[in-house]
Amino acid sequence: MIIIKSEREIALMREAGYILSDMFEELAKHVKPGVSTLELDAIAAKFAKDRGASMAELGYQGYPASICASINDTILHGIPSKKEVLKDGDIISLDIVVRKNGYCADACRTYMVGEVSSRAKAIVEAAESAFYAGLKFLKPGNRLGDVQHAIGMHARSKGYFVPRDYTGHGIGRDMHEDPYIPNYGNPGTGIRLRPGMTLAIEPMLLEFSEKTYVTEDGWTVKSSLGGLTSHYENTLAITEDGYEILTIRKEKEA
């Protein structure tokens, strides 16, 4: 069941989303060679606490950390660790859900550590541009499949693959609500978009193949063929004439 949100609820999600937007700016200053993913986890958790917000991933289905920090061939749900230290040339996605006044905002950025290869830059840029390719179709009356198709085709046109088993999703009081939003689909299919829907759209890209596997920790999702991966996500609300991104401060939008 898709839960349509009121203006008041969207305002609360925007409040959570802007905290998350500011948190990413803070984290960007700390993403450097020599920093551990556990240090980034602590910085994020403190940032939320200082603003009266909580980290919704902590304890979600038993998840043991405040953020997901996924390096290079890890596409999703990397568990922060003091043993995992960033090095020059890495790319790291930070996938974070903040909750404030009962409402969630979910977003992900992939950061480049120091000097990275042009190959790494290309996959990072492609995840972000796939997101914006999808947004062109995000308006009332369009079908969700139109958005999914645009994301999938964009990824493919750049030579990347998208996972089959991990998707974007509705979001609100719960981190994951209906509808589920795969990064592929067929135009003219799926639900019709309506004002008040709140969605997390999140292109995840892999080199070489769509195949992934979960490691023995039960969380970490890696590329089976070991190539690079990237991930870009924002929470959005469908408006009367299009959409609003709730996890980028309006004055900062490209």
Q: What residue ranges bind ligand MF3 (CB under 6 A)?
A: 57, 60-61, 63, 68, 77, 95, 97, 106, 200, 202, 233
Taking the complex as a whole, the smallest distance from the CB of residue 117 to ligand MF3 amounts, in Å, to 26
Stretch that binds Co ion, among 26-34, 42-50, 52-60, 99-107 (CB under 5 A): 99-107
- Count CB neighbours of 52 within 10 A: 10
Whose Cβ is closer to ligand MF3: residue 92's or residue 200's? Answer: 200
Q: Which residue from 133, 200, 201, 238 is in contact with Co ion, where contact means CB under 5 A?
A: 200
CA distance 54 to 52: 7
Whose Cβ is closer to Co ion: residue 80's or residue 168's? Answer: 168
Whose Cβ is closer to ligand MF3: residue 77's or residue 109's? Answer: 77
Count of residues near Co ion by CB under 5 A: 3
CA distance 85 to 115: 16
CB 254 within 8 A of CB 245: no
Q: Is 151 in the site for Co ion (CB under 5 A)?
A: no
CA distance 202 to 168: 5
Residue count (the chain): 254
CA distance 249 to 25: 11
Sign for the CA dihedral angle at 58, 13, 71, 41 comes to negative
Q: Which amino acid is at 243?
A: Y
Taking the complex as a whole, the smallest distance from the CB of residue 168 to Co ion amounts, in Å, to 6
Q: Which residue from 15, 106, 177, 207 is in contact with Co ion, where contact means CB under 5 A?
A: 106
Interface residue list for Co ion (CB under 5 A): 106, 200, 202
